[in-house]
Amino acid sequence: MVRHPFMRSKLFVPGARAELFDKALASAADAVSFDLEDSVAPALKAQARRLVEAAVSAATLKSARPLILVRVNPLDSPEFEADLHAVLRPGLDLLNLPKPGSAADVLRAVAAIERAEAANGVTQPIGLLVTIETAAALGRAAEIAAAHPRVVGLQLGLADLFEPLGIARCDPANVHAAMFALRIAAGAAGVFACDAAFADLHDLAGFRAEAQMAQRLGFIGKSCIHPNQIDAANQVFRIDADALAAAQRIVEAARNAGDRAAFVVDGRMIDPPFLKRAEAIVAAAHASIPPT
């Protein structure tokens, strides 16, 4: 189960667009998420499911590949269980569960996932990236994230969250409020947080600004809906060389601090919370995993 993925950029690929699959897998994205939900018209759901099943089976056999995710249809959709039986195969890294409203929904989904895994011969449990997309779910996000050990991360779905409520996405204060709430919920549950997609394909400055906001809040990466967004996400969420060097100085000073719980590095007082953050940065750099 992938608990702390290296996922600065996660590229969505419509499940019915097989001509895009190879290009997505060969891109610089850290993760590719095949989508069976919003980007697939109802009449094409069954066809997309077959295409994604084949693509996932082929991709997971390759040694050099991005992380492989699949976003299935929601729990109460008639497509949900068919999606699970198609894509829950050995080698799938994470399953993206959209629109759960409660911890009980997560438990229902896990029961269905376990049945599909057993039927498909999956012996290593596949983790869940859960998308928070309603006001009710955001209010319960910590409970949702802690509902089952399979939940390894939370993701924002800002279009579904904002549009029904008339909340303007163009106001950074609104976006920051939602990001902050999700990050605190993820932190409470001990899981990572991944940022939402950005719909304006021509506004790379806006994409970068939103990614920078997410990075400052401790998100591990951002969703992309077009290859032209990947480089910006990878740059924003890279481990900064200066921050890593500072963290290494803190960790080294802690080794030499003896029984002192607080000490000074670079003119700053360092006590346990700052040391813990520095240790996470150093560990992340060694493992090529962003700190959470």
159 and 267 belong to one structural domain: no
pLDDT at 291: 44
Please report whether residue 4 resides in a domain: no
Cα-Cα-Cα-Cα dihedral sign, residues 78, 81, 86, 89: positive
pLDDT at 289: 52
Q: What one-character DSSP code corresponds to residue 123?
A: -
276 and 134 belong to one structural domain: no
Range of the domain at 79: 9-236
Please report whether residue 247 resides in a domain: yes
Taking only the tens place, the pLDDT of each residue in 190-201 is 999 999 999 999
195 and 73 belong to one structural domain: yes
pLDDT at 121: 94
- Asked if 212 and 175 touch (Cβ cutoff 8 Å), the reply is no
pLDDT at 272: 86
- Asked if 23 and 66 touch (Cβ cutoff 8 Å), the reply is no
Q: What is the CATH number of the domain that holds 221?
A: 3.20.20.60
121 and 204 belong to one structural domain: yes
Q: Across-strand partners of 35?
A: 14, 71
pLDDT at 290: 45
Q: Which one of 219, 236, 253 terminates a domain? A: 236
How far is Cα 157 from Cα 88, in angstroms, rounded to an integer? 23
pLDDT at 288: 59
pLDDT at 287: 57
Please report whether residue 182 resides in a domain: yes
C-alpha dist (Å) from residue 210 to 10, 179, 198, 245, 289: 15, 10, 8, 26, 21
- Strand, helix or coil at 202? coil
The segments of the chain whose pLDDT lies below 70 read 2, 287-292
Taking only the tens place, the pLDDT of each residue in 150-163 is 999 999 999 999 99
Token reading at 130: 């859960």
C-alpha dist (Å) from residue 70 to 84, 161, 240, 269, 285: 10, 21, 30, 45, 27
Q: How many domains in the chain? A: 2
83 and 136 belong to one structural domain: yes
153 and 270 belong to one structural domain: no
183 and 282 belong to one structural domain: no
258 and 210 belong to one structural domain: no
13 and 64 belong to one structural domain: yes
